[in-house]
Chain A
Amino acid sequence: MKVIVDRVRCEGHGLCEEAAPQMFQLDDEGELMVLQDAEPVPAEQIEAVADAARTCPVGALRVES
């Protein structure tokens, strides 16, 4: 599975960070950082990342298999 961050849509709401804290983090500027490989997403992160993509309120995260 891979995860794609749409940088134009991402507004920094940070809900992905709560769902997958080991994968996503907002830096001090509020810019989204991806902390681990996005492609492929590490096996133990797959569930959390799928959750984050579902929760992002503006549809800025897309997962593809």
Chain B
Amino acid sequence: MNTTIRRSSIDLYTDEAVLAPYGPYRELRDLGPAVWLEAHEVWAVARYDDVYAALHDHETFASGTGVGLSEDLNKVMAGSTIASDPPYHDHIRSVVGRPLTPRALRKHREDVQRRADELVDRLVALGEFDGVTDFAQAFPLGLVPDLLGWPEEGREHFLAWAAAGFNALGPMNERATAGFADLQGMLGYLNEMSVPGRLCPGSWGAQLVDAAGDGTITREILPTLLGDYLTPSLDTTIATLSSALWLLGTHPEAFDALRADPGLIPNAFNEVIRVESPVRGFSRLLTEDHEIGGVKLPEGSRALLLYASANRDERRWANPEVFDVRRADAAGHVGFGHGVHGCVGQGLARLEGHSLLGALVRKVRRIEVGDAVWRPHNTIHGIAKLPAVFHAA
């Protein structure tokens, strides 16, 4: 067995690697099942099978000390759903996740579809628009904050806060430190919102505040858990929707296929997340010595599970770089993570995505897009600017 340590000087967080990550991911996959990244002192796990196995072995690959790369920030996240381990994790997840299950979301289906139809109608009428601000951001921003019950004032900061929060999950580079002031602002806001009566009565956020009132969760953890609703609920979905628009605009045959058979929409949504995974990866702490394919990862070291690389692993997928809305196994992606920490908001993300794509295939004949400008960001892979036109059906 080969037990040499594979090392690499690849830096995944340069502007170049952030904007064009697929070359470096492939290099890491080819180097071995786990590769020590000298630049960040973390094991990169880049192949699908190994990422999947780690996600389903939460006892060895723990989240309780945070899932970012910098220990300072990991401390700030402690106690959130994402930065916790069972059994505590399972308890808070069941509370945070209660309104987010597909079952609980059923009652919002018609409303979400109506909002999607209205947005697409508006954009068809508009002519040229920006696919990011007017489409990918406008939709979740017009929906999710209302479901969560945030007051109007303060919402203008949400995108900056989310960007800062996800940047901070990377290494302590310029992108991360530039967001510190925003993070302070967000923590202050979450404390304020934890005071009973601030959030809209009956909303998901207010239900969480009530749960702290009746002792289901502690008051101390309430701001952190409200944060579970704030940071991950917008930026991830926005990145997905912008990529979806870009992919369907640059692959008219795929859009035609969806128009001919809207039943393909759920699969197409999975395929968007597979091929342009919005979250590049999160880390885990090794709770004991562990071997991956002959490489020994010592207890106490960190492993960076690269979901975006796993989703393009040629060992797992045929023609991984090809966007194929009919791909039979697209649902097997790990773009939402997988296992006990698998995204608790994926039902909502799917509801949003399916509703918007459903509106598009009914109302639009052709999606025209210009050049996409990708966002330089530590964690989120998405588009910053995308000129677009919807040609009416």
Q: Are B343 and A57 in contact (CB under 8 A)?
A: yes
Check A58 against B342 for contact (C-beta < 8 Å): yes
Q: How far is the CA of A19 from the CA of B267 in the complex (A)?
A: 13
Q: A18 with B103: in contact, given A57-B336, A57-B343, A58-B342 (CB under 8 Å)?
A: no
A2-31 to B contact mask, C-beta < 8 Å, 1/0: 000000110111110011000000000111
> Given that A57-B343, A59-B340 are contacting pairs, would A9 and B90 also be in contact in the complex, using a CB cutoff of 8 Å?
yes
A residues near B332, Cβ cutoff 8 Å: 54-55
In Å, the complex CA distance between A29 and B344 comes to: 19
Asked if B56 and A30 make an inter-chain contact with CB atoms under 8 angstroms apart, the answer reads no
Chain B residues positioned under 8 Å from A15 (CB to CB): 331
- Return the chain A residue nearest B270 by Cβ: A15
B122 at the interface (CB under 8 A from A): no
B346 contacts which chain A residues (CB < 8 A)? 13, 57
Residues on the B chain within 8 Å of A11, using CB: 97, 100-103, 344, 347
> In the docked arrangement, what's the CA distance between A18 and B342, Å?
18
- Taking CB atoms and an 8 Å cut-off, the chain A residues in 44-61 that contact chain B are 54-55, 57-59
In contact, A18 and B331 (Cβ under 8 angstroms):
yes
Query: Closest chain A residue to B91 by CB distance?
Result: A8
A10 nearest CB across to chain B (Å): 9
Measured between alpha carbons, how far is A46 from B299 in the docked complex, in Å?
A: 36
Q: Which residues 23-45 of A sit at the B interface, judged by CB distance below 8 A?
A: 29-31
Count how many pairs of residues, one from A and one from B, have CB atoms less than 8 Å apart in the complex: 45
Tell me, yes or no, whether B173 is within 8 Å of chain A by CB.
Answer: no
Q: Does B213 contact A (CB under 8 A)?
A: no
Chain A nearest CB from B273 CB (Å) reads: 11
Kindly state the separation between the CA atoms of A12 and B98 in the bound complex, as whole angstroms.
12
CB pair B347 A59 closer than 8 Å: no
- Give the CA-CA distance A59 to B86 in the complex, in Å: 13
| A54 CB → nearest B CB, Å | 7
Least CB distance from A30 to B in Å reads: 3
Q: Chain A: which residue is nearest B341 at the CB level?
A: A58
Q: Please determine whether B94 and A8 come into contact, CB atoms closer than 8 angstroms.
A: yes
A12 contacts B101, C-beta separation under 8 Å: yes
> Which of A12, A19, A59 touches B342 (beta carbons < 8 Å)?
A59
In the complex, which residues of chain A have a beta carbon less than 8 angstroms from the beta carbon of B94?
8
Closest CB of chain A to B61's CB: distance in Å? 13
The docked-state distance in angstroms from the alpha carbon of A18 to that of B225 is 32
Min distance, Cβ A28 to any Cβ of chain B, angstroms: 10
Interface presence of B106 (CB below 8 A): yes
- Determine how close the nearest CB of chain B comes to the CB of A27; give it in whole angstroms: 10
Closest B residue to A57 using CB positions:
B342
CB distance from A50 to the nearest CB of B (A): 13
| Complex: A19 Cα to B101 Cα, angstroms | 19
Q: How far is the CA of A54 from the CA of B332 in the complex (A)?
A: 8
Instruction: Sample 19 A-B pairs with CB under 8 A, ordered by A number.
Output: A9-B340, A11-B103, A12-B101, A12-B102, A12-B103, A15-B331, A18-B331, A30-B101, A30-B102, A30-B106, A54-B332, A55-B331, A57-B336, A57-B343, A57-B346, A58-B338, A58-B339, A59-B338, A59-B339
Sample of 6 further A-B pairs with CB below 8 A, known A11-B102, A59-B56: A9-B90, A11-B97, A11-B344, A14-B102, A58-B339, A58-B342
The 7 closest A-B pairs by CB, nearest first: A30-B103, A59-B339, A57-B342, A58-B342, A11-B101, A12-B102, A12-B103
